[in-house]
Amino acid sequence: MKKCFMDYLPEELLEMGIEPKFRVKQLYNWVYRKYVDDFEKMSNLPKDLRAKLKEEFYINPLELVNHEVASDGTEKFLFKLHDNHTVETVLIKMKDERIENGKKKEAKWTVCVSTQVGCKVGCAFCLTAKGGFVRNLSAGEIVAQVWFMKKFKNFDENKALNVVYMGMGEPLDNYDNMVKAIKIIAHPDGLNISPKRQTISTSGIAPKIKRLGEENLGVNLAISLHAVDDKLREELIPLNKAYNIQSVIDAVREFPIDKRKKVMFEYLVIKDVNDDIASAKKLVKLLNGIPSKVNLIYFNPYPGSPYKRPDEETMKKFQRYLLDRGITCTIRESKGIDISAACGQLREKELKSCTPPEFKE
């Protein structure tokens, strides 16, 4: 059975008999910098090596089955995997190309990648949870999402995207494959996207936050908090029963943070659920002493959800309360709201309307 090339670091390829070292570097450059997914087109590799590679490996584990573009430029992709399961990836334009101080600045892009097919966490507000957990993605299936975006948009090989692990799935629940993907994405012979541009978003698996900190990869950390007391958080995020708010905060306090960086706390604001000033007060107390940034996120409604989007005035009051007490706080503008923007929407739509038939509800 063929192996996925994107599952392997250069040193692993050497151990598998792909040598000498400079050939592995050439391979990495062909795949990750020239976006070539056919060994036959790698013209500076010996013919016998190309034949060996073709026999043992395939490169791209993703097949694009749906693509939607929002009016704000956000693009959502649905990919089919080798076993016919599907995952989503989102490409978000954060800033347009512009002129600053007389100099041309490139557009800034963020790619939001999935780490699992489905999810075990079961957040009450998340559509991904409806389908339950199917399986972890391999390192290569995670890496390929970033590679595909660069190839699809024909970005320059040196174009650095921001990568956020906050698509479908809980990244820390697929710990080993996620860490390996981070290393492959960061490798200087490949995509060369620094760990400083990679952000892990977790619902709060406290022991693995600690483990990630001990590895000191240099990545950024984002905590999906969404509530400031355990009762409400258990309702929204059942994982809180195993790892309550205090255990998560304790793990965060030990996490190594670049002095120029902050821990991001994501707070999904739901109308009449967690949008009151009393919650804002508790949040300030909770984050005391942590170099933090709070992202207030509008709940993105989807069909059948019991939750509603908060109004703009309430969001601004909540933000102002935090800002006045010295906490960096932004309101994240909803991206792609006119397409299947919330995690799981595009996949859910596809499962209901197209093949494979065994996935129809």
Which tens digit of pLDDT belongs to each residue from 286-297? 999 999 999 999
Would you place residue 131 in the very low, low, confident or very high pLDDT band (cuts 50, 70, 90)?
confident
Q: What is the pLDDT of residue 357?
A: 32
Residue 4, annotated as binding a ligand: no
Residue 187, annotated as binding a ligand: no
pLDDT tens, residue by residue, 67-125: 999 988 899 999 999 999 999 999 999 988 888 888 888 889 999 999 999 999 988 88
Q: Strand 75-80 and strand 86-95: pairing?
A: antiparallel
Residue 141, annotated as binding a ligand: no
* 343 catalytically annotated: yes
Do the beta carbons of residue 177 and residue 117 sit within 8 Å?
no
Q: What is the pLDDT of residue 360?
A: 27
Would you place residue 349 in the very low, low, confident or very high pLDDT band (cuts 50, 70, 90)?
low
- Residues 6 or more apart in contact with residue 202 via CB below 8 angstroms: 170, 171, 172, 208, 209, 221, 222, 223, 224
| CA distances from residue 326 to 142, 285, 287, 318 in whole angstroms, order as listed | 37, 12, 11, 13
pLDDT at residue 47 tops 90? yes
Compute the 3-state secondary structure of the chain and give helix, strand, coil in percent, each to the nearest 5.
Answer: 40, 20, 40
* Average predicted confidence (pLDDT) for the chain: 91
The closest of 189, 186, 193, 188 to 155, measured between CA atoms, is: 193
Residue 304, annotated as binding a ligand: no
The Cβ of residue 118 has, within 10 Å, a number of other Cβ atoms equal to 22
**What percent of the chain is modeled with pLDDT above 70?**
92
Query: Left (φ > 0), alpha (ψ -120 to 50) or beta: where does 291 sit?
Result: beta
Distance CA 303, CA 140 (A): 33
Residue 283, annotated as binding a ligand: no
Higher-scoring residue by pLDDT: 27, 341: 27
Over residues 8-33, mean pLDDT: 96
Distance CA 40, CA 30 (A): 11
Over residues 262-267, mean pLDDT: 96
All domains of the chain in start order, with CATH:
3-57 (1.10.150.530), 60-359 (3.20.20.70)
Would you place residue 354 in the very low, low, confident or very high pLDDT band (cuts 50, 70, 90)?
very low
Cα angle, residue 27 at apex, residues 21 and 28 outer, rounded to 5°: 95
The Cβ of residue 222 has, within 10 Å, a number of other Cβ atoms equal to 20
Q: What is the pLDDT of residue 97?
A: 83
Residue 216, annotated as binding a ligand: no
pLDDT at residue 358 tops 60? no
pLDDT at residue 223 tops 50? yes
pLDDT at residue 343 tops 60? no
Q: Kindly report whether the peptide bond that precedes residue 20 is cis, defined as omega within 30 degrees of 0.
A: yes
Would you place residue 6 in the very low, low, confident or very high pLDDT band (cuts 50, 70, 90)?
very high
pLDDT at residue 46 tops 50? yes
pLDDT at residue 226 tops 60? yes
Over residues 34-49, mean pLDDT: 97
Partners of 95 in the beta sheet? 108
pLDDT at residue 130 tops 80? no
**What percent of the chain is modeled with pLDDT above 90?**
79
Residue 67, annotated as binding a ligand: no
- Which one of 4, 112, 329, 343 is the catalytic residue? 343
Would you place residue 338 in the very low, low, confident or very high pLDDT band (cuts 50, 70, 90)?
low
Least confident of 94-108, 155-169, 175-189, 287-301: 94-108
pLDDT at residue 269 tops 60? yes
Residue 71, annotated as binding a ligand: no
Residue 224, annotated as binding a ligand: yes
Q: What is the pLDDT of residue 355?
A: 37
pLDDT tens, residue by residue, 200-213: 999 999 999 999 99
Q: What is the pLDDT of residue 304?
A: 80
pLDDT at residue 34 tops 70? yes
Q: Strand 103-105 and strand 98-100: pairing?
A: antiparallel
Residue 170, annotated as binding a ligand: yes
- Which one of 88, 141, 348, 350 is the catalytic residue? 88
